[in-house]
Amino acid sequence: MTTVTANGTTLGVESFGDHDAPLVLLAGGPTMLSWPDALCERLAAGGRRVVRYDLRDSGESTTTDPQAPAYTLRDLAADAAALADALGGTPAHLAGIGVGGMVAQVAVLDRPVAFSALTLVGTRPVAPGPPDDDLPDHDRATMGRLFARPLPDWADREAVAAFAAGGAEIRGDDPVAAYATAARIWDRTPGTAPPVQTANQLGTVFSRLDCIPRWRERLPGIEVPVLVVHGRRDRFFPVGNGEALAREIPGARLLVLDEAATALPDAAIDEVTEAMLALG
């Protein structure tokens, strides 16, 4: 892992492969590890220079005050475009997962020349908070169970990993994989609460007021090839959100993973890799 300065910010990055075709993976959780290693490796084996990175205030990226972030969704989108530029060569295929998919949409809309393709995984076309009336909201029972749990001692690696595994089980994801990923995240930033998650909950970074006109109304203007990937069993952003994205972005392909929830399971890696490589 190393760092790259982009948009005046230091971003922690990890690269896979040494090819000319860049593919930038925008994190959807506390760090770049929201993108599975196996997917990164297989995309690189398919001829892409894969770069996954930490959002501001997480991992190896610039940390200021994650409890009161002074940046906006548009700043995060500008980071992605600046990182793509810093990689040089041709425009990059950009992929965003979860809330990172929201940032990716804005990045492609604001800086279309920086990107050659867009992949959106488990996300939706509006900011966190109550969705539009035609979009399915979070499953209430699932959210109730998630937020009823006491928070762990963030200085206790085992407690943090177990907390993540419990949350994964509630969402319908693999708790073993979630445990391992959370432990790796803790090892990179020991003793701290997930700062990006905290910022999201504060509603600061993803304020709807930061994107006027709302980016959902701008989606028909996306001209690059788009792949929308969504888990059929996703209880956090139900599949209707991915279906809406695929309807509203011209020519977008929708790939629904019947056995997936919010995370990309190992069993889907080959199918997702193939679809992303076919996009460009």
Please, are residues 123 and 102 in contact by the beta-carbon 8 Å criterion? yes
Average pLDDT on 180-200 reads 86
Helix (H) or strand (E) holding 2: strand 2-6
Residue pLDDT, tens place only, 123-147: 999 988 889 999 999 999 999 999 9
Poorest-pLDDT segment among 45-54, 88-97, 233-242:
88-97
Decide if 227 is inside a domain.
yes
**pLDDT for 148:** 97
Helix (H) or strand (E) holding 9: strand 9-16
**pLDDT for 69:** 85
CATH number of the domain that residue 265 is part of: 3.40.50.1820
What mean pLDDT, rounded, does the chain reach?
Answer: 93
Decide if 9 is inside a domain.
yes
Sequential DSSP letters for 103-160: HHHHHHHH-GGGEEEEEEES--SS-SSS--TTS----HHHHHHHHHSPPP-TT-HHHH
Please, are residues 11 and 3 in contact by the beta-carbon 8 Å criterion? yes
* Nearest in space to 117 (alpha carbons), one of 21, 239, 13: 21
Decide if 139 is inside a domain.
no
Please, are residues 117 and 278 in contact by the beta-carbon 8 Å criterion? no
* Nearest in space to 53 (alpha carbons), one of 28, 72, 90, 21: 28
- Looking at the chain, the number of H-run helices and the number of E-run strands are 10, 8
Decide if 233 is inside a domain.
yes
**Looking at the predicted structure, is the pLDDT value of residue 263 above 90?**
yes
Per the structure, how many domains does the chain have? Answer: 1
What range defines the domain where residue 260 resides? 2-133+194-279
Decide if 151 is inside a domain.
no
Residues 6 or more apart from 18 whose CB is under 8 A from it? 49
User: b/e string for 54-93 if b means 16 or more Cβ within 10 A?
Assistant: bbbbbbbbbeeebeebebbbbbbbbbbbbbbeebeeebbb
**pLDDT confidence tier of residue 62, bands split at 50, 70 and 90:** confident
Decide if 113 is inside a domain.
yes
Decide if 26 is inside a domain.
yes
Order of strands across the sheet with 48-53?
2-6, 9-16, 48-53, 21-26, 92-97, 115-121, 226-231, 253-257
CA angle, residues 183, 166, 69, in degrees to nearest 5: 65
**pLDDT for 65:** 81
Decide if 165 is inside a domain.
no
In total, the chain counts a number of residues equal to 280
**Looking at the predicted structure, is the pLDDT value of residue 50 above 90?**
yes
